[in-house]
């Protein structure tokens, strides 16, 4: 049985002030856009490459969320040299995240050694609830779990802010 993917529309529509995404893996599996990028197609250029529906749906959701005044921040903890997947993410971040209103920062894993980080990727919404993501070893979706336990929320918020403070804004992070 395949674990269900959370309803990100409901999650982001529930945000009133902030939605923070912490990503800590160097690969999340393969999709067609990643495969096209690896084949040399210009996926980062809107005038040259049409993103599939799942990407355009995400774009609409982020624009809607930011349009309601919600601050959407994404922090990525990455290995260097970067994996092909991270180089691809970096290539499409301007188009697929920043242009939509997300703020994105990158933290080299070597600069995170003294930070206490959660064991899983996550979304933190309004500093009151967390949705943890689980992935298989090859980057496939493996499940999720939400919590509003205030001790966990507080720890996650502190971890995210520590990463955010130390991380490099997307436009200044060279790959």
Domain boundaries, given as residue ranges, for the chain: 8-172
Query: 145 φ, ψ to 5°?
Result: -155, 135
pTM score of the predicted model = 0.95
- Tokens of residue 9, six digits: 């529309």
- For residue range 30-81, what is the model confidence (pLDDT) as tens digits? 899 999 999 999 999 999 999 999 999 999 999 999 999 999 999 999 999 9
Q: Which CATH class is domain 8-172?
A: alpha beta
- Give yes or no for a contact between 104 and 93, defined as CB atoms under 8 angstroms apart: yes
The pLDDT, as a whole number, for residue 1 is 45
Whether the Cβ atoms of residue 166 and residue 76 lie closer than 8 Å to each other:
no
74 with 170: CB under 8 angstroms?
no
């Amino acid at each position: 049985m395949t674990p269900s993917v959370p309803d990100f529309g409901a999650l982001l529509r529930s945000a009133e002030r902030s939605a923070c995404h912490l990503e800590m893996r160097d690969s999340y599996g393969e999709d067609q856009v990643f495969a096209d990028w690896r084949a040399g197609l210009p996926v980062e250029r809107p005038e040259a490459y049409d993103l599939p529906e799942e990407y355009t749906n995400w774009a609409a959701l982020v624009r809607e969320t930011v349009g309601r005044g919600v601050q959407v921040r994404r922090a990525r903890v990455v290995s260097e040299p970067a994996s092909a997947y991270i180089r691809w993410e970096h290539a499409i971040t301007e188009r697929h995240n920043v242009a939509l209103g997300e703020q994105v920062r990158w933290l080299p894993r070597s600069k995170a050694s003294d930070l206490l980080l959660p064991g899983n990727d996550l979304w933190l919404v309004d500093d009151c609830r967390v949705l943890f993501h689980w992935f298989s070893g090859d980057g496939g979706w493996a499940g999720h779990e939400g919590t509003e336990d205030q001790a966990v929320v507080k720890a996650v918020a502190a971890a995210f802010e520590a990463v955010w403070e130390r991380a490099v804004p997307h436009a200044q992070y060279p790959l």
